[in-house]
Amino acid sequence: MCNCCVPSVPPDSSYEAFAGPVRNWQAALTIGLDRSVRASDHNLGHIEEEIAQKTRALQRTIAQEAAQKKADDIPPACPMCGAKLTRVTHGHERTIQTRFGPITLQRRRGWCPKCQQWFYPADRALGIDDGGTASPAVQEMAALLGSKMPISEASAVVKRLTGVDLPRPTLDREAKRQGQRAERTRDQLDEQMRTALGAQEQGQGDVSRPFTFWRSTPGTSASGMTGGKQSGSGPAASSRSVGIGFTPPRAFDWRIASAKVIER
């Protein structure tokens, strides 16, 4: 590749993870790949697994550093009304489960005199302001996999495909949390649709292909999503319309489309 094809790095941008951790990753991965290349019983699958396993720790380190940088850059302003926060304190830790493993962040906390609430402005910017312990990507995995299979199986699938150890209670909690979020968003859109302006704005929105969300009893998946069709058998569903999908510009935002909440 010629130098003209290599994107330039901003002079004021640097990541410590690109120094020592990258060198350690390169050395460990080289040893593992050489072993797979020489082993007569190893195929491409072994090479893929080696790369995934050896790269996960580096990905987690980079994700934590980048997320911390973003948290540090967020000004102490109320995420609701924009007012300047008072009584600001620093160093409030929060551990988040990402698709690369857990990371721990330090954030500011401040009091909004207008809203009369405490806020962590960085949580809103990072998409983790719902009080859970999962990153937006893990929330997505929980909702999608939790909809297709029992929670115990979904936990094993997440572990096998991503290396993320997402215990059954955590997966169940996150799947239900996203279902509740879908219902709240549906209510908000229903309220907006009651006005002519709201209906016009919704008509201009780009809604992704809908899929179904349903609640389930213990022993079944926590929520379900299909292409607008009812899955499985069970009692008659309620007529309330709910569905969730993913649309830009905010990555991993949940967008209500159209489907039905199925009580079963």
Per-residue model confidence as pLDDT tens digits over 89-115: 999 999 999 989 899 999 999 999 999
Pairing of strands 86-98, 214-215: unpaired
**Phi then psi for 183, rounded to 5 degrees?**
-65, -40
Give the residue from 126, 146, 173 where a domain finishes: 126
Q: In terms of domains, do 90 and 165 share one?
A: no
Note whether residue 40 is domain-resident: yes
**Phi then psi for 122, rounded to 5 degrees?**
-65, -30
**pLDDT value of position 25:** 92
Q: In terms of domains, do 188 and 230 share one?
A: yes
pTM, full prediction: 0.65
Note whether residue 245 is domain-resident: yes
Note whether residue 8 is domain-resident: no
Q: How confident is the model at residue 5 (pLDDT cuts 50, 70, 90)?
A: low
Residue 251: domain span: 136-263
Report how many domains make up the chain. 2
More confident residue, 7 or 64: 64
Find the angle CA(198)-CA(204)-CA(209) to the nearest 5 degrees.
110
**pLDDT value of position 225:** 42
Q: Can you tell me the distance from the alpha carbon of 52 to that of 55, in angstroms, rounded to the nearest whole number?
A: 5
Q: What is the pLDDT of residues 149-189, one digit of tens each?
A: 888 888 888 888 887 787 788 788 877 877 777 788 888 88
- Asked, as a colleague might, if the bond just before 249 is cis with ω within 30 of 0, I would say yes
Give the residue from 93, 126, 159 where a domain finishes: 126
**pLDDT value of position 160:** 84
